[in-house]
Structure 1
């Protein structure tokens, strides 16, 4: 199981892992004072440069002349990436400035070795070859025409993130593709297809397009739209199969029967029914909102123990512990936490503040260093996502982490997401003005006042101060 010996230096045999580590150690040599690689070591373990250590291994790239690990044929990894990309993209025949820029992005990545591995994948190599031969154009329709794959979306988002493709909302585009397939699947049932297409396009698609914009996340809205469209399809199928009716024959008795005989997800048809009534396609019917039978809660002692775990645990990445603290202290939905931007953290005279609503909230001084440490060492920026605006960057260039991925990590910390958020809200409205809590945390007044009523908070009508004292 011993590591394979790569080279032998004056201080002994060096394995491959130690060799790579040594060639990534850079700084001021304590013996000669020059700023360069520090692969050698003194007897007391101090890192020193190649010349002072008497190392004869060549560490100069024959392409760019930099002192670094020679990756292939005497050239460093960045020079190898440029050479390979030039061979695939043919940026000079004919000249293409966008493709020329594309070469600089992977070659300048913080972890070029990962980019090299990505390029060697069959799908990626085929895509880059298509760009080089000009059979794949730098346009969204051209990428949409390709078979869907992770490689296609990763390259597309890299091009968008670095300004080589025009920006567009990825979730909105995915919803449009999903909707087209969904409507096509209903082609054999026109009495179902027609109302669903009108509802989906005139209500949901119109609304999503209005919501889309720079920095906006449509994740929750798209999920809700898909569920409502899917449940509407089930309802119309039931109405035809069990009663031989279309929507124009719908009566209150049919609606009551459908809602009473099935799971609570059937209440997702409410938006469709309200839309039909508004457009005068059916008469006025009554359909209640769906409310959870109970609100999950954890005890205050459990909440405090989870806060302590997020502060002290070293088993979980710092970013997910910071996300856990935002949930436990400020009762934020996971989708909103995942979509926070770096600019939402603000250094003000009173301390570090987090922008969640209309009033910035103060991050407690005891945990502010954790937030600063994370902000200056965020993950997922070493390949195609460099310079991300998101506080929690995802692996896809230009995008934040997906809410589902964050949920999984927070659950791994032992956090009951719904229970923790409800308990945090209840605690806050018991101590502070509900109106102030709503403004500071970005909730609607109706939601917060309902939590205040459930908690029996005596301050439910108090106007509150202009500062959220956390």
Structure 2
């Protein structure tokens, strides 16, 4: 590329080895604007899909490719456009495609195509599958109906799981004390875990926070704008945030900074949620349980409309947790107006 023997383009990388060195160079060129932005985790699904569908008949191969590209991968691209794509989402997409391929292979063994499949076929297949597979096949049958591929089969969707709290308040505060005072834990893990345990932030939101969301201009306090309204940080969390900003200023991030509070190893990208999740689980802090415990605790103390406004969660989610905490904040606004 440097000598002009190859074009500086994404197409050139398609013909180069798929290894870490080439991935890094391609990410670097995209980060500095030489190449157009791209999402490698999505792009790598296409060759994998071709390999997975090889055993299928041409008709079924075409069906699964259409479903994968226009439904599953399209959903991933929307998440990537919002900078909300996670490793779990990509793995889930691959799993969804794989389970759908297994259904098509099952039908082929019975000399049936997906266009000719009946409700009896689908129910017979689901008799020996897991709950997660039922959910996946339900999504696939909806796509079949929407595209007119097969309008005679359907699977009822399972009801969404209700909010639940599995971490006690004592456990939550024990984890908070550990993260506040254990200097052997990596700084980004301490800050991310405290944002989750104290302010119910999701790992997805934490990983893509920007440095300008932190305000340290006042020497007596540190504030964080999780959404619009700044929230004052308790100490020593405020001190940890000052240290993180100092490290960013002194470190040589070069092209991979891009304003992220937690810059990642890939040029121009933030730290992945998996970096936070893996480190927290190693400390016996399970993110799902920890965030639910924080939401429950906050919902007992703060009106749901304030939670949604300051923490960046939806009003519906805030109301759900207020109901679970058995707190009725309907009189909050008239009471505030009266004062």
Question: Normalised by the size of structure 1, how large is the TM-score?
Answer: 0.62
- Partner deviation per Cα, 1:51-93 (whole Å, 9 max, x = no partner): xxxxxxxxxxxxxxxxxxxxxxxxxxxxxxxxxxxxxxxxxxx
What is the CA–CA distance in structure 1 between the aligned matches of 2:21 and 2:196, rounded to whole Å? 33
Which residue of 2 is the match for residue 226 of structure 1? Answer: 94
Unaligned runs of at least 5 residues, structure 2: 335-339
1:182 aligns with 2:52: no
Which residue of 2 is the match for residue 143 of structure 1? Answer: 13
- Decide whether aligned partners of structure 1 residues 250 and 411 sit closer, same or farther in structure 2, where only a CA change above 3 A counts: same
What is the CA–CA distance in structure 2 between the aligned matches of 1:375 and 1:354, rounded to whole Å? 13
CA contact (8 A) 2:42 2:76 kept: no
Which residue of 2 is the match for residue 289 of structure 1? Answer: 158
1:273 aligns with 2:144: no
Which residue of 2 is the match for residue 375 of structure 1? Answer: 245
What is the CA–CA distance in structure 2 between the aligned matches of 1:284 and 1:205, rounded to whole Å? 23
CA contact (8 A) 1:251 1:285 kept: no
- Partner deviation per Cα, 1:173-206 (whole Å, 9 max, x = no partner): x323322431354144224312211112222333
Q: Which has the higher strand share?
A: 1
Q: Which has the higher helix share?
A: 2
CA contact (8 A) 2:245 2:261 kept: yes
Which residue of 2 is the match for residue 199 of structure 1? Answer: 67
- Helix, strand or coil for the counterpart of 2:158? coil
What is the CA–CA distance in structure 2 between the aligned matches of 1:312 and 1:277, rounded to whole Å? 56
- Partner deviation per Cα, 1:206-250 (whole Å, 9 max, x = no partner): 34444444x724225434433322222122223433x54332344
1:237 aligns with 2:99: no
- Partner deviation per Cα, 1:86-141 (whole Å, 9 max, x = no partner): xxxxxxxxxxxxxxxxxxxxxxxxxxxxxxxxxxxxxxxxxxxxx44433432221
Where does 1:245-324 land on structure 2 (aligned, <5 Å)?
245-266=112-133, 267-281=135-149, 282-283=151-152, 285-289=154-158, 291=160, 295=164, 297-324=166-193
Q: CA deviation at 1:275?
A: 1.9
Alignment partner of 1:451 out of 303, 318, 321: 321
What is the CA–CA distance in structure 2 between the aligned matches of 1:184 and 1:462, rounded to whole Å? 59
Q: CA deviation at 1:313?
A: 0.5
What is the CA–CA distance in structure 2 between the aligned matches of 1:343 and 1:292, rounded to whole Å? 36
Question: Normalised by the size of structure 2, how large is the TM-score?
Answer: 0.83
Q: Which has the higher contact order (CA 8 A, sep 6+)?
A: 2
Aligned residues: 330
Alignment partner of 1:399 out of 263, 266, 269: 269
- Decide whether aligned partners of structure 1 residues 250 and 444 sit closer, same or farther in structure 2, where only a CA change above 3 A counts: farther
1:340 aligns with 2:209: yes
- Helix, strand or coil for the counterpart of 1:314? coil
CA contact (8 A) 2:30 2:36 kept: yes
Which residue of 1 is the match for residue 83 of structure 2? Answer: 216
CA contact (8 A) 2:191 2:241 kept: yes
CA contact (8 A) 1:228 1:268 kept: yes
Where does 1:154-193 land on structure 2 (aligned, <5 Å)?
154-163=24-33, 165-171=34-40, 174-189=41-56, 190-193=58-61
CA contact (8 A) 1:332 1:421 kept: yes
- Helix, strand or coil for the counterpart of 2:223? strand
- Decide whether aligned partners of structure 1 residues 432 and 187 sit closer, same or farther in structure 2, where only a CA change above 3 A counts: same
Where does 1:4-83 land on structure 2 (aligned, <5 Å)?
none
What is the CA–CA distance in structure 1 between the aligned matches of 2:186 and 2:264, rounded to whole Å? 14
What is the CA–CA distance in structure 2 between the aligned matches of 1:289 and 1:348, rounded to whole Å? 50
- When Rg is computed on C-alpha atoms for both structures, the one with the higher figure is 1
Which residue of 2 is the match for residue 355 of structure 1? Answer: 225
Which residue of 2 is the match for residue 59 of structure 1? Answer: none
Unaligned runs of at least 5 residues, structure 1: 1-130, 466-470
